[in-house]
A and B are shown apart, each in its own frame.
Chain A
């Protein structure tokens, strides 16, 4: 596997305390990789470390041939990684179309190809492109949030608990969106609270606990692992 993203023994955190301890992780091209683990395991922190949102004190972050350790988020965005936060991930007082336009803010020149791509992926959004994003349902808001992040044609998309607070029906819809996005050639790294469902749908998974790597493998392997099942998946 040629890794698009390679986190190599990353140690770091916010301020002085280290939350991640020697965490390593890889995401290949065209792959959906999920990070699961108990609360406080450092899942979201691991994802934020990719995006330059915390202080890295050890290890290095390689992306598509570049060492991006210590880069500022806006440089990382331009290099091809987009990040969708867990909450407050849309502009509520702006229309769907304007949300997408802001996602493509850094892109020079015409945005119409990017709009076409996102609207092809999410026909629902095209229909309602003048609607204020804040008036949408939870699932549609996630579509706007993911659409916004896709406007810059990223190579890798980071999703922080995209199904948090959504009903099982919407969860399945979000997972389907992830597959569709992956099929357009964008790799996805996501953090999930719903470990069972997420491992069943992802290509590969990592189990973190207390800021360290615990297990890794294909989703199916991890689901079949007794230790993983007992520790995190409620038997």
Chain B
């Protein structure tokens, strides 16, 4: 196998799926940094985002990319709503209670998706899209959109976190919650902001997974493990770490097919997760909260 083939069939698809994992992992890491629990409904929230986009595409007849902003806003609103209705009441309880509640939310969201859209596989656009040739590199337009959108969204988030008053307040709340409260930072606003961002990124992850593969009601749930592996690999609490972790997990999954049967591809995330937890649980870029 030559080098171009390696890039075309393994590395490029790895980077694309890795960008999707990165979008999910950034949300996981933000929620962990501010609220201090693992959010197990994240995958199914991504499924919801993907199907909301599908509803817009088939309902209004617009292109998938035009439906993305609607899916982002709707999913962010649902995430804030779930927090208000369910998680908020559990804030003072041990965190494991919220973790288990989020598992219940995951099942609820999946059921809602199945009631509205059924359990069959669906796509945004019918037919086969052939990749374009760039000096021997074979890349589809949707793959370029995926990676660009990830870089754009995460870049915007980084600017928000380092430059704006409320972005800094989010970092302060993650860094030292007591001192943030003593400084008069409104905890409730920070929590809403966290859910808006995590929910929006989650919808983007689900959307691009649906755009590059297909939509089904279990699509997000099966993404949960690699997304958690990515967040832990990069260092929980670090946005740039989640991106790095996502890309590594994505590429590792694709490359693993060279040595193991492709049905076991999903196991790579588990291997990485296990390895990191044993060797360096703080992640590649030393995590802030674990």
Residues of A within 8 A of B (CB): 73-74, 77-78, 83, 85, 88-94, 98, 101-103, 105-106, 148
Contacts and interface: CB of A to CB of B under 8 A. Distances in A.
B184 A77 contact: yes
Interface in B192-222: none
Interface in B126-163: none
Contacts of B288: 93
Contacts of B183: 77, 102-103, 105-106, 148
Interface string B168-199: 11011011101111111100000000000000
Contacts of B171: 91, 93-94, 98
B179 A90 contact: yes
5 contacts: A74-B184, A77-B184, A88-B176, A93-B174, A94-B175
Nearest to B177: A88
Given A98-B168, A102-B168, A105-B169, A93 B184 contact: no
Contacts of B182: 73, 77, 83, 85
A94 B184 contact: no
A91 B169 CA distance: 11
Contacts of B180: 91, 102
A103 B179 CA distance: 9
Contacts of B175: 91-94
B168 A101 contact: yes
A148 B185 CA distance: 13
B185 A102 contact: yes
A78 B186 CA distance: 14
Contact of B181 (A73, A91, A98): A73
Contacts of B165: 101, 105
B236 to A, nearest CB: 13
A146 B180 CA distance: 15
B179 A91 contact: yes
A16 to B, nearest CB: 18
A101 B184 CA distance: 12
A94 B165 CA distance: 13
A70 B102 CA distance: 36
Contacts of A90: 176, 179
Contacts of A77: 182-184
A79 B183 CA distance: 13
A88 B179 contact: yes
A89 B179 contact: yes
Contact of A92 (B176, B184, B185): B176
Nearest to B184: A106
Contacts of A98: 168, 171-172
Contacts of B178: 85, 88
B228 to A, nearest CB: 22
Top 10 nearest A-B pairs by Cβ distance?
A106-B184, A91-B175, A102-B172, A93-B175, A74-B184, A105-B183, A102-B183, A91-B172, A77-B184, A91-B176
Looking at B168, B171, B183, the one whose CB has the most chain A CB atoms below 10 A away is B183
Given A93-B174, A94-B171, 5 more contacts: A85-B178, A88-B179, A92-B175, A102-B172, A106-B183
Contact of A78 (B169, B181, B184, B185): B184
B125 to A, nearest CB: 43
Nearest to B186: A74
B114 to A, nearest CB: 42
B179 A85 contact: yes
A3 B171 CA distance: 38
Contact of B169 (A73, A92, A93, A102): A102
Nearest to A84: B182
Contacts of A88: 176, 178-179
Nearest to B180: A102
Looking at B172, B181, B184, B185, the one whose CB has the most chain A CB atoms below 10 A away is B184
Contacts of A89: 179
A94 B179 contact: no
A106 B181 CA distance: 11
Contacts of A73: 181-182
Contacts of A94: 168, 171-172, 175
A164 to B, nearest CB: 17
Contacts of A74: 181, 184
A92 B171 CA distance: 10
A136 to B, nearest CB: 14
Contacts of B181: 73-74
A77 B182 CA distance: 8
